[in-house]
Amino acid sequence: KQRVLSGIQPSGKLTLGNYIGAMRNFVALQHEHECFFMVVDLHAITVPQEPAALREQSEAVAALFVAAGIDPSQASIFMQSHVTQHAELGWLLTTLSYMGELERMTQFKDKSAGKDAIGAGLFVYPSLMAADILLYDANLVPVGDDQKQHLELTRDLAGRFNHRFGETLTIPEPYIPKVGARIMSLDDASKKMSKSNPNVGSYIALLDSPDDIRKKISRAKTDLGREVEYDPQNKPEISNLMSIFAQCTGQSLEDIRQAYEGQGYGAFKKDLAEAVVAALEPIQSKYADIRSSGAIHDILKDGAVRAREVAEATLSRVKDAMGFLPAR
Ligand code: TYM
């Protein structure tokens, strides 16, 4: 059995991009592997967070994990901050990380661009992410395309650790879907769909109402011409909408092209909106049930117990290898 670990930040609302690129694969992997899925609150605070909002978003993301189909009896669902080993191994790996490699991270470059007060946490974010993964000896890490570079750094840090201190850490592999790993913005297909975009029309949140979804899709940018064709080079906007359609319905891009041949963008967008509404409807109703039941607290408690057991063992192996005097 392989180990799987992944995390999602509780910052803002989760989008259709998070679902298609990551969460859906969490659900798919849970039956065959030993899975750990966490809400990475320690990562969220690398940019300023309002305490009340952080608390609410954390619970919301944990509930969305379950609503999306993660079964807490199959996979451990927990808060990163409930397992203190993350912060501790994060520090140990920070001491092994080079300024140069951290400076090269595109997420750091994007988030720090144009700011004159850049939080140090933003800079060492990837070392903490490496700790998240390495603590569980994860073999597979399901993520969207934008996390590839962080995974590469995680592999480098694990290799560096093993080289310096002896075989201790498992080198993980990214698990990136062939289609849907990069869902783009509805207002600009050159940018990824992101919950931190100030234009709410640029993304579909998993908890958007059906009417909001219809409105956002009807206003989504389209390319010149009127043919529904998959051509990311020349028709990036329509191609992105087609991928979303394909992901929500299971149809192939070619089926979609044929179905809308000669009909123009209007008919396609109408059906796309309904396909997204239908895909999110079961998640939204399950979400409402979980939030009102209060069950998430027990799920998180349980998940943290299971996670801690594994994390503790790895951390003591690491500290031992590095030469820390054991506490008696
Ligand atoms: P985060 O919270 O930004 O995003 C969560 C997951 O969603 C994927 N994703 C997308 N996939 C396709 N299209 C999009 N437009 C899109 N937007 C986001 C992301 O690739 C990610 O898989 N650093 C991570 C959180 C993290 C983590 C970890 C992940 C912390 N520790 C350990 C894996 C393992 C992040 O910021 O994800």
| Same domain membership, residue 317 and residue 230 | no
Name the percent of the chain lying above pLDDT 90: 95
What's the average model confidence in pLDDT over 249-270? 95
184 is a domain residue: no
Does residue 287 contact residue 63 with C-beta atoms inside 8 Å? yes
Check if 319 is active-site. no
Predicted pLDDT of residue 179: 84
Confidence check: pLDDT of 11 > 90: no
Q: How many CA atoms lie within 13 A of 185 on its CB side?
A: 15
- Pick from 84-93, 108-117, 237-246, 269-278: least confident: 108-117
Closest C-alpha to ligand 1, atom 5: 8
Other C-beta atoms within 10 Å of 279: how many?
Answer: 20
Q: Give residue-wise pLDDT tens across range 127-183.
A: 999 999 999 999 999 999 999 999 999 999 999 999 999 999 999 999 998 888 999
Ligand 1 centroid vs 16 CA: distance in angstroms?
12
Q: Which residue has the tokens 């057991």?
A: 309
Does residue 23 contact residue 62 with C-beta atoms inside 8 Å? no
| Same domain membership, residue 217 and residue 97 | no
129 lines ligand 1 (CB under 6 A): yes
> pTM to 2 decimals?
0.96
CA distance 203 to 201: 6
- 192 carries a ligand binding annotation: yes
| Same domain membership, residue 265 and residue 169 | no
Check if 111 is active-site. yes
188 is a domain residue: no
Confidence check: pLDDT of 196 > 90: no
Check if 192 is active-site. yes
DSSP-derived 3-state class of residue 186: coil
Name the percent of the chain lying above pLDDT 70: 100
- Catalytic residue, candidates 192, 216, 235, 269: 192
Closest C-alpha to ligand 1, atom 27: 7
- 195 carries a ligand binding annotation: yes
Predicted pLDDT of residue 13: 87
| Same domain membership, residue 111 and residue 212 | no
What's the average model confidence in pLDDT over 202-223? 97
8 lines ligand 1 (CB under 6 A): yes
99 is a domain residue: yes
- 211 carries a ligand binding annotation: no
Ligand 1 centroid vs 228 CA: distance in angstroms?
29
| Same domain membership, residue 51 and residue 67 | yes
CA distance 176 to 6: 12
Ligand 1 centroid vs 226 CA: distance in angstroms?
33
Does residue 195 contact residue 13 with C-beta atoms inside 8 Å? yes
27 is a domain residue: yes
Predicted pLDDT of residue 145: 96
| Same domain membership, residue 152 and residue 65 | yes
- 17 carries a ligand binding annotation: yes
Residues spanned by the domain of 73: 3-176+294-322
- Rounded to the nearest 10 degrees, how much is the dihedral formed by the CA atoms of 38, 56, 48, 77? 0
Q: Tell which one of 147, 184, 195 to mutate to probe ligand 1, the residue whose CB is within 8 A of the most ligand atoms.
A: 147
What's the average model confidence in pLDDT over 306-318? 98
Burial class (CB in 10 A: 0-12, 13-18, 19+), 227: middle
Q: What is the C-alpha radius of gyration for the chain, rounded to an integer number of angstroms?
A: 21
Total domains in the chain come to 2
Chain-wide mean pLDDT for the chain? 96
Closest C-alpha to ligand 1, atom 29: 7
Q: Looking at residue 63, which CATH number applies to its domain?
A: 3.40.50.620
Predicted pLDDT of residue 12: 77
> Cα angle vertex 21, ends 53, 218, to 5°?
80
For residue 97, what are the contacts with CB-CB under 8 A and spacing of at least 6? 124, 126, 127, 153, 157
Q: Give residue-wise pLDDT tens across range 48-99.
A: 999 999 999 999 999 999 999 999 999 999 999 999 999 999 999 999 999 9
| Same domain membership, residue 305 and residue 171 | yes
